[in-house]
């Protein structure tokens, strides 16, 4: 699938049908293996989460520590392994509007189907953490306009973190400004109540695809996609599911190994080498090598 094809596939998935907009649950990934797990599980969209990349690859919290070049490298690795559309977390754009444009062009060349741009100040942090700041509205609108001017085909998701900083009305104002600027999707981070969530949907769902963050342990007032779909949301991001699972279960596996000096008792919980080779396509690679006498 070439670039235009996976962007077109994403646009098709976001299209509202006669019965309303279908919600797509979108798991987060941070490398080729986790992206492949998402695709093989049947999900039509994957999300390169900045938080998952920072935590999973670099062992650091989601506080703006990952660079644009590191994100571009991750996009290229993931695109080499999966064909489904990939949403890429571009944080605040890694600098001013000019560096944002350079970064987004690199992400699109590497295989991004959509990019998410947010309006936090620096240092940015996870949207469900306290202590965030947001830049002035004019600057944040400039980020969206710069992103739209830089992209060729990929979609631009405009995210505002203003709700936790400036309040609900300010977040709505910012979302309206981003929509006026031409954003393809709108993402108001961190609604705290069902009333706020319904207000966001009532204001925007009929006009533009809406994104919501379902982070385990976050501030969201719902914990599944059923209510979001009824409200008209298009995408529910689950950015840290695989990472949270590994962090929760990994210590138990390691404790078992330390205690038993073997992994036999974990056989029901873990994959085997043959499973990994099947997942990663080892036999196909061997056959391809035979074609070239390799």
Q: Looking at residue 43, which CATH number applies to its domain?
A: 3.20.20.60
Residues 46 and 186 in one domain: yes
Least confident stretch, 18-22, 90-94, 96-100, 208-212: 18-22
CB 124 within 8 Å of CB 89 = no
- Are 219 and 123 part of one and the same domain? yes
Residues 9 and 51 in one domain: yes
Q: What is the pLDDT of residues 219-269, one digit of tens each?
A: 889 988 999 999 999 999 999 999 999 999 999 999 999 999 999 999 999
pLDDT beyond 60 at 39: yes
Flag whether 254 is in a domain: no
Pair 17, 135 in one domain: yes
Could you tell me which residues come within 8 angstroms of residue 7 by beta carbon, excluding any fewer than 6 positions away?
Answer: 85, 113, 114, 153, 154, 155
Of 133 and 294, the structure prediction assigns the larger pLDDT to 133
Pick the closest to residue 176 from 124, 134, 137 (CA basis): 137
Q: What is the pTM of this model?
A: 0.95
76 within some domain: yes
Does residue 117 share a domain with residue 228?
yes
Tokens representing 290 are 């035979």
Separation of alpha carbons 187 and 158, rounded Å = 6
What range does the domain containing 280 cover?
263-294
pLDDT at 127 over 60: no
DSSP 120: B
pLDDT of residue 125: 63
What total of structural domains would you count in the chain?
2
- Asked whether residue 278 carries a pLDDT value surpassing 90, the answer given is yes
**What pLDDT score does 126 carry?**
61
Q: Mean of the pLDDT values across residues 132-145? A: 94
């Amino acid at each position: 699938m070439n670039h235009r094809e996976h962007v077109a596939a994403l646009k098709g998935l976001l299209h509202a049908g006669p019965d309303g907009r279908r919600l797509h649950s979108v798991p987060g990934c941070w490398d080729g293996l986790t992206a492949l797990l998402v695709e093989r599980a049947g999900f039509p969209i994957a999300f390169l989460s900045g938080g998952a990349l920072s935590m999973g690859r670099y062992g650091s919290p989601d506080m703006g520590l990952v660079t644009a070049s590191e994100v571009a490298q991750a996009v290229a690795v993931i695109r080499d392994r999966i064909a489904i559309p990939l949403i890429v977390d571009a944080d605040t754009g890694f600098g001013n509007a000019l560096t944002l444009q350079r970064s987004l062009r690199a992400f699109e060349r590497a295989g991004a189907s959509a990019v998410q741009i947010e309006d936090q100040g620096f240092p940015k942090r996870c949207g469900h953490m306290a202590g965030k700041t947001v830049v002035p509205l004019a600057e944040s609108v400039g980020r969206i306009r710069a992103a739209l001017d830089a992209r060729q085909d990929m979609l631009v998701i405009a995210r505002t973190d203003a709700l936790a900083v400036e309040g609900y009305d300010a977040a709505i104002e910012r979302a309206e400004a981003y929509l006026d600027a031409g954003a393809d999707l709108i993402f108001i981070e961190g609604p705290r109540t069902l009333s706020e969530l319904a207000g966001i949907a009532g204001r925007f769902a009929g006009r533009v695809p809406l994104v919501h963050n379902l982070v385990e342990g976050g501030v969201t007032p719902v914990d599944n996609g059923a209510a979001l779909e009824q409200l008209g949301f298009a995408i529910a991001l689950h950015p840290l599911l695989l990472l949270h699972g590994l962090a929760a279960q990994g210590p138990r596996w390691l404790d078992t190994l330390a205690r038993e000096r073997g992994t036999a008792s974990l056989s029901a919980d873990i994959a085997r080498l043959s499973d990994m080779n099947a997942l990663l396509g080892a036999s196909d690679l061997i056959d391809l090598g035979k074609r070239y006498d390799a």
